[in-house]
Chain A
Amino acid sequence: MADAPVSSSVVPTASAMSTASAASAAAPAGATASATSKSGPADLAQGDYRRLQAAVEELLILKGIVNRDEIDREVAAMDARSHQRGAAVVARAWCDPQFKAQLLSDAPAAVRSMGIEFGPMHLIVVENTPAVHNVIVCTLCSCYPRALMGMPPQWYKSIEYRSRVVREPRSVLAEFGLTLPPAVTIRVHDSTADMRYLVLPQQPEGTDGWSEQALAETLSADSLVGVALAKVAG
């Protein structure tokens, strides 16, 4: 499901689009919810997007390409997805070495074996170890493992994150509160085409023997794209 072909056919100037989204997402990395509510120009840009979206939706319905029910169903299905799906997958991998091996070699098959509806997405799971830390980005647009995570947060789509995390990942991670020793290699994954990525974080210390459900609660959405670690609350 490439987002980009849709936007490139709808919006004639991709650069105008990025400029506008940069303005609306000018909050520093780590600030999640407030990015849309601050400045006037950002609000204007958001308004433009809403009008654009409504116009395209009307056209698609008028032309009989999709109907209202199909749109509502897709929106409801998207809203029902959250990072808890990804967290459940990772928690299972922590508890079941065979499942973990399959998840790393054939992630779609492993995820489907948990009964998670997955669509045609091609997924690669990358494992954090004491020596390697993985971070996910889509420098070209906002590709994100939506089937397992729902919608990406605003910062993930921001020009700041997308341009800086490939250039100075450690500085960006530090802004998220994650400082990694120089001996840990950082592997940044740029989802430029058909693959989507999920990070398999390291299991937090002191959680051996925990239930999958309790383990899943140590995983934030941020940890599953590599800008945070799995953590025990409190």
Chain B
Amino acid sequence: MSATVPIRNQVSETVPVRYQVGERVRVRHAVSGGHLRTPHYCRGHTGVIERVCGRFPNPEELAFGHSGLPSLPLYRVRFRSRELWPDYQESENDMIEIEIFQHWLEADHG
């Protein structure tokens, strides 16, 4: 069905991958409307890059009929469940991995 989305603002620019596997990152604590793929429960929290998934069109643009280009680096970020939920009771080692686009991340230097 994606072929039916009108393509506008075709851009060939490549957005560089800014974070490497193992690097600590923080999810921006932004509050904004629109079609976001960054769940609220991880905003403002820190995790570690688990893998770089590649570049994908920006869903926040795609949802409104734009091309979503240039494609943005997408990461899997690993969070400790206790980081996301300070009162998490179940087991200290449990973790949650979430796909997050680069523009939602910033380096966390501790």
Contacts and interface: CB of A to CB of B under 8 A. Distances in A.
Interface of A: 1-2, 4-6, 8-9, 65-66, 122, 124, 139-140, 166-171, 182, 185-195
A124 B59 CA distance: 20
A66 B1 CA distance: 9
Given A5-B63, A140-B37, A193-B59, A187 B97 contact: yes
A192 B98 contact: yes
Contact of B59 (A1, A4, A139, A166): A4
Nearest to B61: A5
B74 interface: yes
A185 B97 contact: no
Contacts of B37: 4, 140, 192-193
Given A170-B90, A193-B37, 5 more contacts: A1-B2, A122-B53, A166-B84, A193-B101, A195-B74
A135 to B, nearest CB: 10
A193 B94 CA distance: 22
Determine the main DSSP class of A at the interface with B: mixed
B94 A169 contact: yes
A133 to B, nearest CB: 10
Contact of B62 (A2, A171, A190): A2
B91 A194 contact: no
Interface residues of B, number: 35
B99 A4 contact: no
B96 interface: yes
A188 B97 contact: yes
B93 interface: yes
Determine the main DSSP class of B at the interface with A: mixed
Contact of A195 (B4, B35, B76, B96): B76
Interface string B71-93: 00010100001001100111101
Contact of A5 (B35, B54, B85, B97): B35
A186 B56 contact: no
Interface string B5-21: 10000000000000000
27 contacts: A1-B2, A2-B62, A5-B59, A6-B1, A9-B63, A66-B4, A139-B41, A166-B41, A169-B81, A170-B91, A171-B90, A182-B91, A185-B93, A186-B90, A187-B95, A187-B96, A188-B95, A188-B96, A190-B39, A190-B97, A190-B99, A192-B100, A193-B37, A193-B53, A193-B74, A194-B53, A195-B76
A224 B62 CA distance: 30
Contacts of A166: 41, 81, 84, 96
Contact of A8 (B63, B90, B94): B63
B63 A4 contact: yes
A2 B61 CA distance: 13
Nearest to B84: A166
Contacts of B100: 192-193
A186 B4 contact: no
Contacts of A195: 53, 74, 76, 99
Contact of A1 (B1, B39, B76, B99): B1
Contacts of B56: 193-194
